[in-house]
Structure 1
Amino acid sequence: MPNMATSLNYRGRLEFLREALGSISSKPWYAHGIAEAIMRTANLSVPLKIYEIGGGSGTCAKGIMDYIMLNAPARVYTSMTYTSVEISPSLAEIQRETIGEVRSHLSKFRVECRDAADRGGWGEAEKQPCWVIMLEVLDNLPHDLIYSESQVSPWKEVWIEKQQNGQRLSEVYNPLQDPLIKSCVEIMELDNPHSMSKARSIWSKVFPKPQRRWLPTGSLVRYQWFSLTHGFSFYSYASLNMQKLLEVLHDALPKMSLIASDFSYLPDVKIPGERAPLVSTKKDGCSIDYHSYLDAKGDADIFFPTDFRLLEHLDHYCSGWPRFHGDKSSKQGKKRRTLVVSPIFYYHVLCFSRASSYMLCLRA
C-alpha cells in the first residue's frame, strides 16, 4: 500500500499534468475507448444495439459511432442502432444536432425523451444482447436516508419537516414503510442480526452508536453514522435510485451489458463520512460548500460519490442472482462478469481538480 508521501507525490504529478494540458479535451479518445471495449467483447454476429442514458450533448454517442464506422466491419456499422434515453428535451435536440454532423449516423441514431427509470417507457423486453452506457449519471441520483439508534436497533426512515418558526429544517424518524427502502435493506443485509459477531453485539449494547445510512433504491442510498465520544463521528453513504434504475433496466433489457463511469471520490467534502455527498453552491462566482444537507434548501448542487462495489452487488441481485447462498426467493440468473478500470488515467487527469473517475463494466 502506498504511503502518504507517495500518494501526495502522485496527486501532485496529476495536478501538474492537468495544468499543463490546460483546456485539452478528452474527446474523442474517451468515447473511442468505450467503443473499442464494446467491439472486443460484443457478439458481432448479431446487430449491435447500444443504449445511452443521460447522453448530454451527444459527444460520446458521436465518438462511439465514429469509431465503429471507421474500425468495425461494414456490416456492423450498417446494422447497428444507438438509442439515447434523455429526459431533457433541450439536450435531446442538441444530441440530434451533434449526431447530424455525420449524415450516415442519423439513420442509426434516435433520441427517446423520457425517464429511463420508468418501466413503461421501455415497452416489451428486448430479447437480444445490448449495451447500456451511463456516464456521470449516478452521482446525481436522489438518495433516501435511514437511521438507527444503535447497531442492533431497527432502521427508521428519515423525513424532513419544517420547525414551527418555518425557518429551519429538522429530521423526523419513522418506521420503515417504503418498499424500495425495505428491499435495499434486505439486499445489503442491514437487517441481519447474524451478520454481527457476538463480541460486537455485546460491545454495541455497552456502547450504542447511532447509525445513519443513505440507501440505493428508487431514491435509496446508504448512510451510516457511528458517534463515539465527544462529538467524534463516522459517516457512511450509499444510494437508492440506483437500485430502481437497475431493476427497470434488467427487466426491460435482460441481456444487457452495462458500462458505467462516474466519480468514486469527491474532494473538499465538508460533510463527514464515507461516501458523503458534496453539497455546494456558487455565490459571486465562488463555490461555497455546506456542512449539512439541511442547509442547502434547494439552491445547491448535491453530488454523491459512486460506490462501485455496491453498484456491482445491486446489479448482480437485480439481474436475478440470489442474494444469499441457497436463496430461492429470487429468480435464478447467470452471475455477471465484472471489469473495473480504476482509474481511467487520462480522464482522471482532466477531472482531478474536482474528482477521481472510475469505470465499471458488467457483462451479461
Structure 2
Amino acid sequence: MNRLGNVLPQACARRHLASQFQCSRARPFTSTPASLKATRVRRAAAGKDKINYNADVFFDEKPDPDHVDYARVTANDLEQCTAPPTRVKMLVRDFIEDSLYNPNYGYFPTQATIFTSSDTIIDFNSQRNSDQFQDEVAQRYSAYGMDEDGPGRQIWHTPTELFKPYYGRAIAQCLVAEYLLKYFPYEDLVIYEIGAGNGTLALDILDYLRDEYPEVYERTHYNIVEISGRLAELQKDKLLPQHPCVQVTHKSIFHWDKREPAPCFFLAMEVVDNFAHDMIRYDYRTLEPYQGLMTIDANGDFGIYYTRVTDPLIMSFLALRRRLGHPPPLPSLLKSSTMRSIYNNLPFAPNLSTPEYIPTRLLSLLRTLRQHFPRHRLLLSDFSSLPDTIPGVNAPVVQTRYQNKMVPCKTLFVRQGYFDIFFPTHFERLRDMYEHMLAQPLGQADITPVPTRLSPLASSASALSTGEGFFSSYLPPNRRPPVDGVASASGLPVGERKSSVFTHAEFLETYADVSSTRLKNGENPLLDFYKNVKFLF
C-alpha cells in the first residue's frame, strides 16, 4: 500500500487552539466551530450580515473577539509541548509543521513507519507481470500485522524501498557521472541528504560507490540532515558500521547554520511534499491576498480567519511569484474592475477566492541552499500531482491508515500527529524559483570566505562576475552566473548548467539498469509506476 489510498468515507478527527496555550485532546470533527456560529448570530442581530459571504469563514480586518486574546505561536514555540495545544492561533504552515514534525506528538517522530521490504531483494526478472509483483509487495506488507482498533500503524513506501537496490544505484550513477565529469580528482565527493528515512537510499548509494567506483568511494563524505530523532538513530545504526564516511545530524534543515564551501550534491528525495504550506485567499473586490490563521479554542475546536498579509515569508513568496510572472489562481475575467463589480453584486457570490496553498517552506529551503551551500547541485524528486486532495488550489492529501486501509480526509482540521499531510509540487515553477534564487548575489550578511582550503579549481583572481563578458558577449541561457572566486574546470566563468525537469521514467531510463527490473512479460515497474513523480536536476 502506498501513500495514496482509495477514496473512503470521511473519518477525520478535528483539533483546536487558544491564549496562554495549554494541551488538550481531540474530539471528532462534527460541524462548524461554535465560535464561528456565534459570530454569525451576532452579525445577523446587528444587521451586519451580507449577501456576499463565505459560508466557511468569517472575514474581518480583526479576529473574532473570542480569538483576539489567544497567544500567537509558531511551530518552533510548540516544540516543547508534550500534547497538542489549546487557546492559540498560528499560521497554517505552523499548524502543518507542528502536526508533522513536533518531537513529542508529530506524525513523523511518533507515527510514521516507512515500509521496508525485508533483506531479500525482489527478483523482478522472475515475476510474470505487474499483478504478481504487487502480490509480492502485499505479502511483505502483511509482515507488519493487521490493525485492530483506532488509527493503525502509518505505513507507506517509497521508490527507494520498493525498487531497492536499483533505484538507489540509479541515483548513485547520476551523482558519480556528474562528479567524474567536473570534480574528480581535485575535489572530494560531498553529498548531503535531507529526510533520509530508514537510510536505505544512502546505503544503496554507498554500496554502489564502494563496489563500482572504489577510487571515488575513498573520497566520499555522506551527510544526512534528519529532523526526527528516532529516524536519526536508526540511520546511524544502519549506516555507520558499514560506511564510516557517513555523518548524521539531528536537526531541521531550516535551522541549518553551517556553510559548506566545497562543491556538493544535495538530495531531497520524497521530502518536499511534506514541507509546510501557507493558505491564502484573494478578496474578489480588490484582488488583495489575505493570509489564513488557524485557531484552537479551549475546547479543542478549530477555527480559521483571514488577515491582510503581514508575514515576511508569505510576502517574499508572493513578490517572487510576481517577479517571475507566475499568475495567481484567479479567473481571468475578474482582472477587469468592471467585471469584478458586476460579479461582487451577484447574489451569494463568494467574496473570497478558493483557498490556495503556497509552498513557503520550499522557499525557505531555496534560501538555505543559496546561503549555506553556494556550490551545490540539487537533485530533487517528488509528486507533481496527487488524487484525493482536499478542496483548494495546490491542496494537499490528508490521510491516515485506519483498519488496514488508507482513509483520505476532506479537511486540514485533523488531529495533530495522526495524519499524513502532503502536497504536490509544480516542478516548472519550482525550477524558475530555484534558478532565480541562485542568480541573486548574496546579501552582505551572507558573505563569508568561500574556499577554506586550496583547490586547483579555486581562483585567487578578482570576482568572475566582473569579467564574465570577456570571452563572449552574453551568458549562455542554459548557464547560471558564475560563483565569485570559483573558476570552472576550463578556467572560463561560464557558470553551472541550469536545472531541468524530468519525468520519473525519463530520469531512470537515463541512469538506471532497467534490465534488472524488467518483468517476464516486458513490463517494467521501475518505469511504469510513479507516473505522477518528477525530478529536478
TM-score category of the 2 structures, normalised to the smaller one: 0.7 to 0.9
Among 174, 182, 187, which residue is 2:307 paired with?
174
Structure 1, residues 255-297: CA drift from partner, whole Å, max 9, x if none?
100011111222233x234422111223333333222213556
CA distance in 1, matches of 2:386, 2:429: 17
CA distance in 2, matches of 1:26, 1:113: 27
Q: What corresponds to 2:246 in structure 1?
A: 109
CA distance in 2, matches of 1:160, 1:342: 36
1:79 aligns with 2:219: yes
Tell me, what secondary structure is at the counterpart of 1:142? Answer: coil
The number of aligned residues is 307
Tell me, what secondary structure is at the counterpart of 1:293? Answer: coil
How do 1:262-273 residues align onto structure 2 when only pairs under 5 Å count?
A: 262-269=382-389, 271-273=390-392
Structure 1, residues 297-350: CA drift from partner, whole Å, max 9, x if none?
65422111122123212212332349xxxxxxxx99767512322023744645
Deviation at 1:208, TM superposition (A): 5.2
Question: Max radius of gyration: which structure?
Answer: 2
1:55 aligns with 2:196: yes
Q: What corresponds to 1:98 in structure 2?
A: 238
How do 1:4-19 residues align onto structure 2 when only pairs under 5 Å count?
A: 18-19=130-131
Deviation at 1:136, TM superposition (A): 1.1
Structure 1: which amino acid aligns with 2:264?
C
Q: What corresponds to 2:133 in structure 1?
A: 21
Q: What corresponds to 2:52 in structure 1?
A: none
Kept in 2, the 8 Å contact 1:87–1:114? The answer is yes
CA distance in 2, matches of 1:351, 1:95: 25
Structure 1, residues 137-185: CA drift from partner, whole Å, max 9, x if none?
111111111121127422111112247x946433211121111111001
Structure 1, residues 40-78: CA drift from partner, whole Å, max 9, x if none?
222223111000001111111111112222222x43211
CA distance in 2, matches of 1:179, 1:305: 23
Gap runs ≥5 in structure 1: 1-15, 210-227, 323-330
Among 395, 400, 423, which residue is 1:304 paired with?
423
Among 247, 251, 255, which residue is 2:371 paired with?
251
TM-score scaled by length of structure 1 = 0.73
- Which range moved further: 195-204 or 142-151? 195-204
Q: What corresponds to 1:223 in structure 2?
A: none
Structure 2: which amino acid aligns with 1:41?
E
CA distance in 2, matches of 1:260, 1:138: 8
CA distance in 2, matches of 1:255, 1:282: 41
Q: What corresponds to 1:206 in structure 2?
A: 342
Kept in 2, the 8 Å contact 1:55–1:61? The answer is yes
Alpha-carbon spacing, 1:279–1:158, altered in 2? closer, same or farther (3 Å): same
CA distance in 2, matches of 1:350, 1:18: 10
CA distance in 1, matches of 2:227, 2:315: 28
Among 206, 209, 222, which residue is 1:65 paired with?
206
How do 1:24-43 residues align onto structure 2 when only pairs under 5 Å count?
A: 25-42=162-179, 43=182
Deviation at 1:200, TM superposition (A): 3.5
CA distance in 2, matches of 1:29, 1:169: 45
Root-mean-square deviation (CA), in Å?
Answer: 3.5
CA distance in 2, matches of 1:308, 1:193: 13
Instruction: Please identify which structure carries the higher strand content.
Output: 1
Deviation at 1:244, TM superposition (A): 0.7
Among 281, 285, 294, which residue is 1:147 paired with?
281
1:275 aligns with 2:394: yes
Structure 1: which amino acid aligns with 2:386?
L
Gap runs ≥5 in structure 2: 1-127, 138-161, 442-480, 484-494, 509-524
Structure 2: which amino acid aligns with 1:59?
T
Sequence identity, in percent? 27
1:358 aligns with 2:534: yes
CA distance in 2, matches of 1:194, 1:292: 26
Tell me, what secondary structure is at the counterpart of 2:413? Answer: helix
CA distance in 2, matches of 1:169, 1:292: 11
Kept in 2, the 8 Å contact 1:290–1:296? The answer is no
Work out which structure has the larger RCO, using CA pairs closer than 8 Å and 6 or more positions apart in sequence.
2
CA distance in 1, matches of 2:416, 2:240: 40
Alpha-carbon spacing, 1:343–1:64, altered in 2? closer, same or farther (3 Å): same
CA distance in 1, matches of 2:439, 2:533: 28
Structure 1, residues 82-113: CA drift from partner, whole Å, max 9, x if none?
111112222122212322463xx21x111111
